[in-house]
Amino acid sequence: MGVNIKMLAERLQLSISTVSRALRDSYEISETTKNRVRDMALELNYQANPYASSLRKHRSKTVAVVIPEITNNFFSLAINGIEYVAQEKNYHVLIYLTHENVQKEIGFANHLQSGRVDGVLMSLSAETNNYDHLINLKNKGVPIVLFDRICEAIESSIITTDDFESGFAATEHLIESGCERIAYLDLSRYLSISNKRMQGYLEALKKHNIPADEGLIIRFTNNNAANEEIITQMLSGPNRPDGIFASVEKLAISCYNVCERLQIKIPEQLKIIGFSNMEFSSLLNPSLSTITQPAYEIGKQAALQLFRYLEKKSMADVHERIILKSTLIPRGSTGF
Amino acid sequence: MGVNIKMLAERLQLSISTVSRALRDSYEISETTKNRVRDMALELNYQANPYASSLRKHRSKTVAVVIPEITNNFFSLAINGIEYVAQEKNYHVLIYLTHENVQKEIGFANHLQSGRVDGVLMSLSAETNNYDHLINLKNKGVPIVLFDRICEAIESSIITTDDFESGFAATEHLIESGCERIAYLDLSRYLSISNKRMQGYLEALKKHNIPADEGLIIRFTNNNAANEEIITQMLSGPNRPDGIFASVEKLAISCYNVCERLQIKIPEQLKIIGFSNMEFSSLLNPSLSTITQPAYEIGKQAALQLFRYLEKKSMADVHERIILKSTLIPRGSTGF
DNA sequence: TTTTTTTTCGGAAACGTTTGCGGTAGATTT
DNA sequence: AAATCTACCGCAAACGTTTCCGAAAAAAAA
């Protein structure tokens, strides 16, 4: 079907090996024949079969991105950063969505032992609390870089934001805005980010002598409708919180929806701050106070770190732990 | 490095071909040896080398998605739909972002002639006004399905929303809300969606006897800052419009930003409606009236259509033209 | 002039699969 | 009993590259 190296060789009256070397600009080939080959390749629009190359070279020029979801500004931005680097390096990007399902994550990880990719960029699902699939993958020699939702079970580079400090700052911001009963909302008890942010939350409460209340730490699922039901319960019961710290974007949005339905006024009756990467948090009604993560940069740094592995022939594992700062932006939802 | 079929064969005291056939559940192999092979494969966690398979079979089990950008709710949702179908079919998804740059698009299209993918899902860049790269790709035997931003230059299946009708409805909605000077904002004069939506816009004006004004049809770039500058000009000059129809999400957002800066009240002084797939348009200040596209479904249908090509051995080209309806949701920004 | 080096190229193996073809043993038919 | 058929399996070619190993010719060194 397509034009291959053999056709080029025949047309040029050269051997296959010479053509191959010419295309890779080998020093063993004279400048004149190199040009002949290049011209002919251009004329026939020759594209080397990547599968034959990969099979022979044991390199795929491909990386996999395994993430929980894509309809999420954080991950879209991260992919954007990853893809930017990949294009620079002439690499290809495969994406796999786990939809927060650990079984899918395991399936992907197992499959990726096949040699399909040279490396993996990954952010764990909310269900993941066992890391054998990652360990196996790494043991097969596939470099892994974790970003955002990480784990400590494997030795690898790790790119995150300063989750503890951000959690602390967000909570303190609510306290300084006058809140006394602050709820902490998150997705999973397994996620690294959830725990770090919660640590920050607890630490801030402690600093300001506010007793921590187990009932105010609430876990949600991946189902928006169910989540809003839980929030409705929380906000319509007695002794409801006067401040909410949502550790993921979608939970803050759900709070807005519920407050609108329950006629609860933000920020007068309830103050809200949330992690978010929406570019128009400022246009919400009221504008949403946020912790904004450097999502694009996180993706970019993760990819750069992966390529550092790939380009290093010595698998001398230099495991970096890169922490990029988030920024707190006070807005209307906390009374600013 | 990895465990391959030869090792399996040795361990099982079988020939390579028998192992291969057993794994593919061939009728030529007895049930008992099939089980032996399968057990051993599981035990060693054998994963067939996809590059060897692809080379031999001339099938990659991979599709490419070429889109302008990913930090855009429409495309995120579309990818979500595509990835869903791909997972069902056990296919892999490569993504390529053109960033609205036609040169990149051409580069990707040329590269994809290499056999890296079995098919391509594509939405054109705003700069694309020549389609030779698509024609060449298709001539190489790579099936293409276009979605959203399409062209008529190649014979292929096409998945869109009802852009003309939606443009008409949006404009008429503004007129019925009392607007008399309605601006049409879009990205590119080349895009199919822009033209269709503008046709709808013009048709609605005509129906209501409002003269079309060239000065009210404004093209933007991919640069948000520059765009806001243009909008500022438009809104601070004399004879400014009283209604805006933004054909892409980001332009509506830019309008909100400018109005906030210029202290223009929405919807009292200016009404806005825009194409958008934000799930929280209703939470904006004021809530944004939108035309919401079935983005997930568009991606899903596009992928399904591509697989219809791939599964059909007869390349009897059945070029479908699927149109999925968008819905107009009136909200605060048009006085609802 | 002879020897060594440099330059330039070709033959063939290898990467890990899939599959056409042939072949053996046993079962079935004539 | 011979002939045909079925079930099961192995050999080897092929997919399109890259690269090791030579090897011839030209150039340089001796």
The tens digit of pLDDT for each residue in B46-101 reads 999 999 999 999 999 999 999 999 999 999 999 999 999 999 999 999 999 999 99
The pair phi, psi for residue A275, each rounded to 5°, is -65, 135
**Measured in angstroms, what separates residue A55's CA from nucleotide D18's C1'?**
10
Q: Distance between CA atoms of A320 and A312, rounded to whole angstroms?
A: 14
Q: What are the chain B neighbours of A60 within 8 Å (beta carbons)?
A: 51
- B313 DSSP 8-state letter: S
Q: Residue A80 carries which side chain, given as an amino acid letter?
A: N
CB contact under 8 A, B97 and A83: yes
CB contact under 8 A, B116 and A92: yes
The whole-model pTM stands at 0.95
**Measured in angstroms, what separates residue A19's CA from nucleotide C9's C1'?**
10
- B264 DSSP 8-state letter: P
Task: State the pLDDT at residue A313.
Answer: 60
**Cis (ω within 30 of 0) for the bond into B241?**
no
Per-residue pLDDT tens over the stretch B149-189: 999 999 999 999 999 999 999 999 999 999 999 999 999 99
- Name residues 257-276 of chain A within 8 A of B (Cβ): 257, 260
List the single residue in A45, A52, A116 with the smallest CB-CB distance to B50: A116
Given a contact cutoff of 8 angstroms between Cβ atoms, the answer to whether B257 and B228 are in contact is yes
Classified as helix, coil or strand, B273 is strand
List the single residue in B62, B136, B285 with the smallest CB-CB distance to A286: B285
Q: Residue B19 carries which side chain, given as an amino acid letter?
A: V
Question: What is chain B's Cα-based Rg?
Answer: 25
Q: How close is the nearest chain A Cα to the Cα of B111, in Å?
A: 7
Chains A & B: contacts with CB separation below 8 Å: 142
* Residue A262, burial from CB neighbour count under 10 angstroms (0-12, 13-18, 19+): middle
CB contact under 8 A, A140 and B2: yes
User: Is any Cβ of chain B less than 8 angstroms from the Cβ of A285?
Assistant: yes
Q: Distance between CA atoms of A258 and A230, rounded to whole angstroms?
A: 10
Selected residue of B280, B288, B293, B333 to mutate for chain A interface (largest A Cβ count, 10 A): B280
| Residues making up chain A, counted from first to last | 336
| Angle separating helix axes B5-12 and B31-43, nearest 10 degrees | 120
- The residue whose CA lies nearest the C1' of nucleotide C15 is A56
**DSSP states along A237-304:** SSS--SEEEESSHHHHHHHHHHHHHHTPPTTTT-EEEEE---TTGGGBSSPPEEEE--HHHHHHHHHH
Q: What is the pLDDT along chain A (336 residues), one digit of tens a residue?
A: 689 999 999 999 999 999 999 999 999 999 999 999 999 999 999 999 999 999 999 999 999 999 999 999 999 999 999 999 999 999 999 999 999 999 999 999 999 999 999 999 999 999 999 999 999 999 999 999 999 999 999 999 999 999 999 999 999 999 999 999 999 999 999 999 999 999 999 999 999 999 999 999 999 988 888 999 999 999 998 889 999 999 999 999 999 999 999 999 999 999 999 999 998 899 999 999 999 999 999 999 999 999 999 998 655 667 899 999 999 999 999 998
Task: State the pLDDT at residue B313.
Answer: 59
Q: Among residues A16, A88, A12, which one has the least CA distance to residue A48?
A: A16
List the single residue in A50, A69, A80 with the smallest CB-CB distance to B70: A80
Number of Cβ within 10 Å of residue B136's Cβ equals 16
The helix or strand, by DSSP H or E, that contains position A140, with its residue range, turns out to be none
Task: State the pLDDT at residue A318.
Answer: 78
Bin B99: left if φ > 0, else alpha if -120 < ψ < 50, else beta.
left
pLDDT beneath 70, residues of chain B: 1, 313-317
Given a contact cutoff of 8 angstroms between Cβ atoms, the answer to whether B300 and B84 are in contact is yes
Cα nearest neighbour of B52 on chain A: A55
> B180: Cβ–Cβ under 8 A, 6 or more apart, which residues?
B210, B242, B243
Selected residue of B65, B71, B74 to mutate for chain A interface (largest A Cβ count, 10 A): B71
What are the counts of helices (DSSP H) followed by strands (DSSP E) for chain B?
12, 12
Q: What are the chain A neighbours of B94 within 8 Å (beta carbons)?
A: 62, 92-94
Number of Cβ within 10 Å of residue A263's Cβ equals 7
